[in-house]
Amino acid sequence: MNSSISKILKKLQVHYPQTQCFLKYQTPFQLVCAVILSAQCTDERVNRTTPLLFKNFPTPEKMARAPIKAIETLIHSTGFYRHKAKNILECSKIIHHTYHGQIPSTLEELVRLPGVGRKTANVILGEIYKKSEGIVVDTHVARLSQRLQLTQSSTAEKIEQDLMGILPQSEWIAFSHRLIQHGRNLCIARKPRCNICFLQSQCPSAFLEKNKSN
């Protein structure tokens, strides 16, 4: 790990000492549903949607028996609700019947669940089982990794592989949480707040967005 990456990690640790998933849940199954809903939707919107969903169908067994129209109605505001409802229903059936209500603990098993891709699986493994088998690459992580020139790749899969190659595995889970937090607080998509960013001395892209607009 080179000195620049080490400085980035240390500054992120100082400014974001507490790392946590932004999705609200009470059980591992609820987290699975929440991350499925988070596709192309904000965590805030998901967190406003899931309380009523989980009140009606709190377990894999009850969700597996739910009418799909009821699920669609409850998750309508998250977008792509028909597709997501189908995935949640089928995923719940598999968890209930195949895994007896328990969430699979391996990447290979998780990515076979409907609606669960590699990013979702990494969230579940890191949050529930504290396993660092990969790095969660959402839009924030992708954008900031590119701005910090930690990767030249454009796809989530390649970005993840690049990050895994330069970051210690012990930092994989926390790094994603901290970068997401930083992307929401300072390094926002359209107008990054470079003037008050604590990473500006490590960031090759600092002030570039402002210069482009002038």
Q: Any idea which residues carry the catalytic annotation?
A: 119, 138
d(CA 141, CA 144): 5
Burial class (CB in 10 A: 0-12, 13-18, 19+), 117: middle
Any idea which residue has 């607009």 for tokens? 213
Which long-range contacts does 118-124 make (Cβ < 8 Å, 24+ apart)? 118/156, 118/157, 118/160, 119/156, 120/32, 120/35, 120/36, 120/39, 122/176, 123/21, 123/31, 123/35, 124/28, 124/31, 124/32, 124/35
Structure tokens at 27: 């059980």
CA 207 to chain centre: 27
d(CA 127, CA 110): 14
